[in-house]
Amino acid sequence: MSAFPQPLVARAAPLLRDNVDTDTIIPSREMRSTGRTGLADGLFAPWRYVGADTRRENPDFVLNDPAYRGAAIIAAGRNFGCGSSREHAVWALAEYGVKAIVAESFAPIFRNNCIRNFLLPVVLERTAVEAIAGREVTVDLAARSIACEGIAYAFAIEDEAQQMLLHGLDAIDLTLQHRADIDAWTAADRTARPWVYDLPARTQESVTP
């Protein structure tokens, strides 16, 4: 998967609502296969389209505004991505072309899902989000800064997440470098807490209706 485009220059689509949930970002009915693709069309379906089963665009929704169609940056409110843990929400955003979301706060599972898929979650104060919403911004992840109309807004992100996004690092590969530590820990824990590891195989009779 590709790393974060550095720097990212794009207009921030204003979606300044609080508690935007993952059911709205990608409704369950739009998750039609067990794969991670084919989701962009269902992104924000309840708001983007008129009626549940149509693809008729709702002209009032920001991503249907020609100025923001295909937006790479979304400016949002408080607790963005709350609700279901479905990673499909991030896959749908990424497939649509969103590279960064600037919000007042994020739901924790959603934020982790973003990082694992190289989509940048940026937290800024409400006034700063409002100041950049609808404007062209330059996101410099290496410098942890967003510039808009001559003003720079600093943001915080953990070193590890920053490096993963900048270099497209895979978390599993990174962790497997610690395999010796994991093996040693597990060996010691097996003695301390054998009940964690010694699980009964399910008997046939327990699975018969």
Where along the sequence are the contacts to another protein (CB under 8 A)? 17-19, 21, 23-24, 27-29, 31-36, 46, 51-52, 78-79, 82-88, 90, 105, 107-109, 112-113, 116-117, 158-160, 163, 171-172, 174-176, 178-179, 181-182, 185-186, 189, 192-200, 202, 206-209
Nearer to another protein, 66 or 200 (CB): 200
Q: How far is the CB of 4 from another protein (least distance, A)?
A: 16
Nearer to another protein, 142 or 176 (CB): 176
Q: How far is the CB of 41 from another protein (least distance, A)?
A: 15
Nearer to another protein, 56 or 202 (CB): 202
Q: 209 exposed, middle or buried (CB, 10 Å; 0-12, 13-18, 19+)?
A: exposed
Q: How far is the CB of 2 from another protein (least distance, A)?
A: 15
Q: How far is the CB of 59 from another protein (least distance, A)?
A: 17
Nearer to another protein, 77 or 148 (CB): 77
Nearer to another protein, 34 or 127 (CB): 34
